[in-house]
Amino acid sequence: MKRTAIDLWHDIVENGIQRVVRRITDEESMAMAEEYGTHNYSVMHVNVVRGDGARVWDGAGNEYIDCVGAYSAVAHGHLNPAVVKALEAQLQKIVLTSRAYYTSEVGLFLKGLAEYADLDMVCPMNTGAEAVETAIKLARKWAYTKKGIAKDKAEIIVCEDNFHGRTTTIVGFSSEPNYREGFGPFTPGFRMVPFGDAQALRKAITPNTAAFLCEPIQAEGGILIPPDGWMAEVRQICDDNNVLLIWDEIQTGFCRTGRKFAWQYEDAKPDIVAVGKPLGGGLLPVSAAVGRLEVMEVFKPGDHGSTFGGNPLAAVTALTALAEMEVNDYAGRSTVLGERLKKGLVALNHPKVVEVRGKGLLVGMEVADDVDSKALTKAFVKNGILTKETRSRTFRFAPPLVVEESLIDEIIERTSRALNADC
């Protein structure tokens, strides 16, 4: 007889949630997700029950190397001991207060993140999309109160093939039809230019331009890297026209590309940077908009907020995550291991592979048009690698930055076996 929700609640209270979860098979788990969950993800046929570092396991005990890494959020590895310890200690003290009060943890977090980013002020949020929405609001209010743009006329320039989140405002300025179809009408006030084209940006600027919002590397777009010098030229164009530069470093930030932030490859310091994902140490959703005082000070009480944004539990988790990155040189690890991964994938010299590109441990492997990418995804799973196709037929390799050198070599070997499967 099918168990009811009432049975489930009693089971949880009497036996504890972990015992209840352990009794669920992989197939039962996947069946429940398909029946009761919306189908807004294309999910691999894997049920992950445990993680440690760069590895995860399913209920049958099969081991996989996690090359999705929660889209760069698990930079510290699954269940990083230092971050887990900080979270557990805070759970015994205070977790949530809202920003209606001051807390020591949040004050330290605001200072720590501002100094880490070499900027002045922080507006804490939870998800990456919230951080981008916060940056948009900051840019618009700055445009009206500081630049003098007429009310409701401010424009923000974005790039083709962008990915900044899933809110209705954000998908409204996406160039990906699948993200937009069925969700209009969309918020006005955005113009689009090709990614990596400085002259197109210069031509698109008008007296109503408030900001340029862009990823320094387009991760979801297919690990697309702009031409050398483009970021620095963008910074100069924005300076020349009194336009804010907003970098979205939600996926590329916090050592993923071999620098604290990808913009640091050039002289391209932002006025606002949107950050998230790894900031939560792989345990919690933590994000923020971080920026210069002149921009951030436009927010006044009541302008913006978040019930959970800037809570003490998130603050200590993020502070420990930042400390781990700095003390253990995550940026250096990302640089060295990323080069090893890229060179190894290139050395496979496989006819199915068109190009391998990336910076640090954000690596994309683009496959030829005649490759069945769905079959290749299954071949990766069969060979113990979890990776997903981004746009432009590119498979993402973004393992935790704590991955061992030997496991990089194992990724290369397993990739070779997957490519040699009948796809």
Positions marked catalytic: 163, 248, 277
Q: How far apart are CA 400 and CA 293, in angstroms?
A: 33
Between CA 263 and CA 75, with CA 389 as vertex, the angle to 5 degrees is 45
Asked whether the beta carbons of 239 and 207 are under 8 A apart, the reply is no
